[in-house]
Amino acid sequence: MAVEVIVSSVLGQVTSIIATEVKQEVRLVVGVRKQVEKLTTNCKAIQLVLANAQQRQVKEDTTVGLWLDKLKYATYYMDDFLDE
């Protein structure tokens, strides 16, 4: 009888700990998913601005080529990261 009470108590505590851990994992996954969606949206916006800036550079012969190359590299890196 006493063993059953102890086992029941321990199982209740283990179940509580497992439930807490599962809830934390779910929150983490949901949080990561939201961040990936936000990064994807930002990456697409940056790519549009980059395309526009490249067109303007060709037309206006501006001196932002180095900056555009760095931005382009950053968007490629973001794209690769998001694909993974």
pLDDT of residue 10: 72
Residues 45-62: tens digit of each pLDDT: 888 887 877 777 666 665
- Spatial distance between the Cα atoms of 60 and 66, rounded to a whole number of angstroms: 15
pLDDT of residue 22: 82
- Spatial distance between the Cα atoms of 4 and 7, rounded to a whole number of angstroms: 5
Element (H, E) at 78: helix 65-83
Predicted TM-score of the model (pTM): 0.52
Q: What does pLDDT average to over the chain?
A: 77
Best CA proximity match to 65, nearest among 76, 16, 73: 73
Best CA proximity match to 52, nearest among 38, 72, 78: 72
